[in-house]
Amino acid sequence: MKILLTHATGFLGSYLLEELSRQDLKIKAATRPEAPIQEMESDFLIDGLDLESIRLNLLNFQEVLEAVHDVQIIFHLDQIEAWEEPKKKHRQAKEKEIWHNLAKACGRFPVEKIIVTGQADSLELNEQGYLIAERSSKKIPRKRRPLANPLEEEWEKSLKAGLPLLRVYPANLVGARERQRTPLGLYLKKLLKTKKAPYVDSGLSLIRAADAAKGLVLVAKRGEVGKRYPLVQHNLYFLAFLQGLEKMLRQPLKKIGLPFWLAKLRGAMEPTFLKSLQRGLMMEESTSKNLSLPKGDLWKALAEQISAYGKIM
């Protein structure tokens, strides 16, 4: 069996590639043309690993077609690794074009499973205020529904067309390879610089990136085509997260509680991060429990992430 992994040098991609390397499988690791795999900061590139690395422009259909023709499983992490594009509309347009290329290419070959990563605001809200994968039995008022991910419609169309698609929604990722590009990473960068910690009355869902990679592999092994799988290990209130951060840093932070409208007006947080916190939503942990996903040390991973920031700031 051969696996194609897109964005293999990205934050989550590098952890997933490391996890896949332990599965004794053939791996085709695709990187962006400007990000060769040799630059990855990891210790898993060992002798004997059956790894084929390619530079892949996902906006080029012919390149995608060539990459897909000999693989059986595809992990496509585009939504998680696309934070480099600062303008949301441009990012979404690229994501849609990339998915069209990938779906079209997969339709020509016997691909067994396609695992894609989405964002939590695509999930539904249950009566307890948790984001869940499946629609609640009771009708949810429209005003309480998170805004849909524009790719969800495309994924639904692909499922109806017969593509073997599984959707995975990791919570906010924590790990040493984050380079201040994710919404949480940008928030922490500003906090560490100013020692000011604006927060809203909200919940925060988190997972170690290394454990999210394990979860993706478990979904590929045990998951059902068409299903959605949220991945979360820790649900904290935002204020409790900041208090834990103070203990870890061993210094006080100037915590500033703000209503959502004022946080948005002042630009106190990165808009995508603020949106993910809206209405105090937290992700349901049942998927992680059903997959028997181990619960890693969140604070150790966060300490490693912050320590790594010191090397790049």
For residue 150, how many C-alpha atoms fall within 13 Å in the half-sphere facing its CB? 13
Where residue 217 falls among pLDDT bands split at 50, 70, 90? very high
pLDDT value of residue 69 = 95
Query: Going edge to edge, which strands form the sheet with 130-132?
Result: 124-125, 130-132, 282-283
Mean pLDDT value of segment 176-198: 89
Residue 48 CB: number of other CB atoms within 10 A? 5
At residue 123, does pLDDT exceed 80? no
At residue 251, does pLDDT exceed 50? yes
**What is the number of structural domains in the chain?**
1
Counting Cβ atoms within 10 Å, is residue 35 exposed (0-12), middle (13-18) or buried (19+)? middle
Its domain, for residue 198, covers 2-312
Answer whether 0.95 is exceeded by the pTM.
no
Where residue 313 falls among pLDDT bands split at 50, 70, 90? very low
pLDDT value of residue 145 = 43
pLDDT value of residue 35 = 61
C-alpha 153/C-alpha 113 separation (Å) is: 19
> Quick one: what percent of the chain has pLDDT higher than 90?
47
Using the CB atoms, write b or e for 276-290: b if 16+ within 10 Å.
bbeeebbbbbebbee
pLDDT tens for each residue of 27-48: 999 988 766 545 444 444 444 4
CATH of the domain at 124: 3.40.50.720
Mean pLDDT value of segment 201-210: 91
Please give the residue that has the higher pLDDT: either 143 or 148: 148
Are the beta carbons of 156 and 285 closer than 8 angstroms?
A: no
Please give the residue that has the higher pLDDT: either 33 or 71: 71
Are the beta carbons of 276 and 183 closer than 8 angstroms?
A: yes
pLDDT value of residue 29 = 92
pLDDT tens for each residue of 283-296: 777 777 788 888 88
